[in-house]
Amino acid sequence: MFSLEGITNTIQNWLYSTFDPTFALLIECAIVILLAIGLFAALGLVLVLMERKVAAHIQIRLGPNRVGPGGMFQTVADTIKLILKEGLVPDLADKFLFNLAPFVVMIVAMLLLAPIAFAKNFQIWDINIGVLYVSAVSSLSVIGILMAGWASNNKYSLLGAMRSGAQIVSYELSAGLSVLTVVVLTGSLQISDIIASQADGWWLFKGHIPVIIAFVIFIIAVTAETNRAPFDLAEAESELTAGFHTEYSGMRFALFFLAEYINIFIVCAIGATLFLGGWMPLHIGHWEGFNHIMDYIPSSIWFMGKTFFLIFLIMWFRWTFPRLRVDQLLNLEWKYLLPISMLNIILVTVIAILGWHF
């Protein structure tokens, strides 16, 4: 139902019949790039507005409600303001690295959009090592943050960047191990295979308690990896003013800001894909009628619904919890989450070998 395959195949066939193969491929690339950039901008605007509305709801206030109906165009206006603003570069900063850093962070975020399946047969790149690709590329963003902190020639930025480095490198381990549980159960690293394996039920429900533990650890780890509260030590407004992006202004700051939200979207999309079945509708075992009704809801809505639910969870954390201290943050990872994930993955392996999962 509601497959986008028809449209994409028509476009491809028309391109290949009209132009020669090399040129057609180039045009396809251009279309994909445009789509990705469009999605990037749209997601940024929607997520920032969503964050402000969620925060306002939690904090018993209204949130933006002046620009457009219900404040819908507030983020658009903010973006225009940021674009028009002067981007200051500190005098003693390392100019090259200072200018490069926001782009590194943003390019990493864009690269991560590639293997995500937004709907049935709607995926930019169904690479056979999809999960590994995501883990590998997402850890690159720490380079951009360290670069920004170092090049700013600001002590607060430096402290923030060092915290961020320690944090992302540590939590990468738990995130990776919790992702592996699903890989062990599926037996494939390919995103499309992982989604297909959840046709008769999502892994969160099929995989017994170990997968639920892995899911919880995954959510904690990705919250830390995206530098979100309660793990927002790299920014830590009340301690380090704005952490690694203290010296950034104008569009360079906007790129960091945008990249943060895109990263949230991506990790939530990965979480939804691995644990909640991606675009796969809610199927329960052999309830044919129920499954059939669920199929009528378009796959893109399933995917977006799950992803935005996880995003809402992460936003909820931010507006509820105080921030951890830097040593408590590392203790949590190395003394609790990492040993638990290691035991958990052994447990899952046993379950997978004995075939105890549903």
Partner 1 sequence: MYTETQVIKETKEGELVINMGPQHPATHGVLHLVITLDGETIKKIEPHLGYIHRSIEKMSESLNYRQFIYVTSRMDYLSAHINNLACAMNVEKAMQIEVPKRASVIRVLMSELTRIASHELWLGAMAMDLGAFTPFFYTFRERELITDIMEETCGARLTMNYIVPGGLMYDLHPDFQQKVKAFVKQFKQKVTEFEDLVTNNVIFQARTKGVGILSREDAISYGCSGPVARASGVSCDIRKIYPYEGYDTVEFDEVLDTAGDSFARYIIRVKEMNQSIRIIEQLIDNIPEGDTQAKMKAVIKPPKGEFYTRVETARGELGVYIVSEGGMTPYRVKYRSPGFSNLSALDHMARGSKIGDLMATMGTLDLVIPDIDR
Lookup: tokens for 300: 């893109």
Q: Which stretch binds partner 1 (CB under 8 A): 233-241, 256-264, 266-274, 302-310?
A: 233-241
In terms of Cβ atoms closer than 10 Å to its own Cβ (0-12, 13-18, 19+), residue 355 is: exposed
Task: Count interface residues toward partner 1 (CB under 8 A).
Answer: 29
Answer for the pair 165, 138: CB distance below 8 angstroms, yes or no.
Answer: no
Binders of partner 1 among residues 82 to 121 (CB under 8 A) are: none
Cite the DSSP H helix spans in 199-358: 203-206, 208-225, 237-240, 250-275, 288-295, 299-318, 326-331, 338-354
**Pair 9, 120: CB distance under 8 Å:** no
> What's the CA gap between 171 and 224, in Å, rounded?
7
Pick from 40, 98, 156, 261: which binds partner 1 (CB under 8 A)?
156
Q: How far is the CB of 159 from partner 1 (least distance, A)?
A: 7
Minimum distance from residue 86 beta carbon to partner 1 (Å):
20
User: Which of 147, 219, 220, 240 contacts partner 1 by CB under 8 A?
Assistant: 240
Does position 340 bind partner 1 by CB under 8 A?
no
Q: Does 241 help bind partner 1 (rule: CB under 8 A)?
A: yes
Nearer to partner 1, 94 or 239 (CB): 239
Q: What angle do CA 122, 126, 130 make, to 5 degrees?
A: 125
* Closest approach of partner 1 to the CB of residue 249, in Å: 16
* Contact pick of 21, 60, 86, 353 for partner 1 (by CB under 8 A): 60
User: Smallest gap, in angstroms, from Cβ of residue 30 to partner 1?
Assistant: 43
CB atoms within 10 A of CB 67: 14
Least CB distance from residue 83 to partner 1, whole Å?
26
**SS3 assignment, position 51:** helix
Contact residues toward partner 1 (CB under 8 A) are: 55, 58-61, 155-156, 159, 163, 229-230, 232-233, 236-241, 319-328
